[in-house]
Amino acid sequence: MTLIKHRIIEVALERSLRATTVKSYETLLGRIGLLERDVTSVTKEQALELVWELQNPNTRRSTVIALRSVLGLEIRVPRGMPRRYELASEDTLRMGLMLSPYEIRGLLMMYAGLRVGEACAVTSRDVQGDRLVVDKQVVELTGRVGPVKTVEAPIVIPYWLAERLALLKESDSPAAVRESLRRAGKKVGITLNPHMLRHWYATHLLASGVPMVVVSRQMRHSDIATTLRTYAQANDGLAIHDVLG
């Protein structure tokens, strides 16, 4: 007999999942009372019944993804609601990053759109001029450097950031960077996390008039529809008011 809580760890090791993903799976499947159940005891019908008792569409979607990943249940992933951030100003975000010993890693997320594992894997060897090769990540659960799970591509970065990257000689721990950013953000009165910085990057590019196709390429999305679905609405209200008052 294999309990679902133990199967989560097995899946995490098999697929090099981030520690945050593992914690999320544990929370989501615990919320619907499955952690102590045997893997073979949960049917698709039972899982669906539990999922549809959840009121929040994003929680429902995340729970289905966890069920598919951990138990292999062929459940259609429901549509979620795009996540919105109340983004702090650029100056406030920069101030928060300055208070962290991992400032350069944070700058990679904020001004290059990197995910935390990708930012932690970058060294000076990955930079040539204004191009940064993003082809590896530090896996949060194991701490090992491995290939990225999404599109491998060189992206354009600001020249001033390229110069700062000359200081990076080794990789860093995503968990340490995440916690450092959280503490630094708290000091300046904001929530500061890796995904927020990546979100700020895409939002800032779109608000500044950078074409969607370029933003999608910089974000290394496999499909421009992902960029549209996730970020195109970020400043929709502001854009309408700018045009119509």
Tokens of 193: 């996390």
> Within this chain, do residues 159 and 43 fall inside the same structural domain, yes or no?
no
Distance CA 32, CA 213 (A): 40
> Within this chain, do residues 116 and 219 fall inside the same structural domain, yes or no?
yes
> Within this chain, do residues 45 and 97 fall inside the same structural domain, yes or no?
no
Note down pLDDT in tens along the chain; length 245 residues.
899 999 999 998 888 887 778 888 999 999 899 999 999 999 989 988 998 888 888 888 889 999 999 999 888 887 766 566 678 899 999 999 999 999 999 999 999 999 999 999 999 999 999 999 999 999 877 778 888 877 777 899 999 999 999 999 999 999 899 999 999 999 999 989 998 999 899 988 888 888 888 888 898 887 777 777 666 555 544 444 454 44
> Within this chain, do residues 52 and 155 fall inside the same structural domain, yes or no?
no
Helix H or strand E encompassing 230 = helix 224-231
Domain that holds residue 56: 4-71
What CATH number corresponds to the domain at position 199?
1.10.443.10
Q: Is 46 in a helix, a strand, or coil?
A: helix
Number of domains making up the chain = 2
User: Is 234 in contact with 202 (CB distance < 8 Å)?
Assistant: yes
